[in-house]
Structures are given as C-alpha cells and as structure tokens.
Structure 1
Amino acid sequence: AFWNAIRHARPLAVGLNCALGAPEMRPYIAEMARISDTFVSCYPNAGLPNAFGEYDESPESQAVYIADFAEAGLVNLVGGCCGTAPPHIAEIAKVVEGKRPRQLPEIPVATRLSGLEPLNITEDSLFVNIGERTNI
C-alpha cells in the first residue's frame, strides 16, 4: 500500500532505514524491489538494540546480509543507520564492490490504489466494488 501511495511522485529511490537490522528488513526490501520501478535503498541498523540500547552486530555480520541483498539483485543504494560506524560502512563497501546494482523492472501499467492494503486493478480485473467507508 505504501508504494501505491507514493509512486505517483516518481521518487528517485524508495527504501528502508533504521528501526530494524538487516535480517528483519529483508522481506520488506524484497517486496519493494519486486513492486517498484525506482531505485531501492537499504540502511539497516547494526542489529536491534540490546537491553542497554547498544547495537551488537559486527561489521562483518552486517555485511553478510547486505551482500545477500546485493547478490539477490534487491538494492541500488546501501549503507547503515543506528549502531553502524566507519568499520561497518567499510565492510559494506567491500562486499558490494563489483556487484551489479538492481535493474529497474518493467512494471505493467495498472490502476494502483492504496488504503490499508494495496489494490491493483489490471486488464484482467472484473468489476471492482470499493466500499463507501473504504474509499481512497
């Protein structure tokens, strides 16, 4: 629904940062890469904060996840947010060096609406009734 709500603005990039570590971000980044026809960015935290508000993910372990995102063709821009430090960014740079950035997909033209859930009306859609209280 988020992408449908902002796609009309034709953003240069869309993505996620903060709040999550890389493993927790992967399903959201994969979905954004699947449905969007713009660059995808990913700036995860160095894990989730521990009981002391510190981030325990090492530069090497964070870079493993980012390398997976790049190898899977999910991202165009990568970096780090809370808990990342220069060694984290250096590791990320090392693992993505030489990797091909995500190629922008051709997304079929359709009417794309957003409420709490996305609603995509394609050529194959039959009659679509949107309830009065859920109009967008």
Structure 2
Amino acid sequence: MSNKKVSSAKSGNVFTLTDNRTGKNFELPVLKGTAGPDVVDVRKFYADTGRFTYDPGYTSTGSCESKITYIDGDKGILLYRGYPIEELAEHSNFMEVCYLLLYGELPNLDQRRKFRGDITYHTMLNEQINYF
C-alpha cells in the first residue's frame, strides 16, 4: 500500500463534461488516489456551472481525503494506514492499532511500552475523586 496522497491534476489530466443543451464544455481535474480508481474533482463544479451533482446514497462519491482509512465496500476492502483490517485483527492488539492510527506506523517494542505507559498514566484518576 502506498502512502502517497491524492495528487492534483497534471496538465491534460482532465475529465471533460459537455452540457448538451448549450454545447459548453467543463474541464474537471482528475486526481490520482492513494488506492482505488482515479477520481474526478467536482469541488468547483457548482461555482463553475451553477449546477449540483446528484449521487443518491453517495455510492460514487469520495467524502474526503484520508491518510488513515481506505474503504472499497464492493470489494470488501478496509485498510487502516495501508494495513488490511483482517491482518490488524489477527496480528495486532488494540493499543498497537491506536498507535498506528495516531502515528502512521505500527510501534516497535520500545514505542509500544512507552505508549502503553503514557495511556495508563492519563487514565488514572486523582485521589480527590474519592472525596467528591
């Protein structure tokens, strides 16, 4: 899994949409995603055309750019930071996955120990809570 982020359209890397009523063409940038198919960037579509796009159920719409998750429901793919969820569930524990989501990589032994200590420290309650 690549960690490259969505890249902006290069010269000529556009999707042309034609309004058959007027013959006017609209050029929309084509972006390369981290994984999956290329995407057509419609962020400026309304500003340029005065029209909205219609995608019931958002079945063909990427809701955001994410460096954390990739989902392809049709293919049954769910990745966290490039790791398949099945692999994480089988070979990693909760704290390791938390570390992965926060820092972008699975922890080594020293990082895992320090992270567990930091989390444990921050979950302790002050003794004064007993007198509340």
Q: TM-score, normalised by structure 1?
A: 0.22
- Larger RCO, structure (CA 8 Å, separation 6 or more): 1
Q: TM-score, normalised by structure 2?
A: 0.23
Rg comparison, structure with higher value? 2
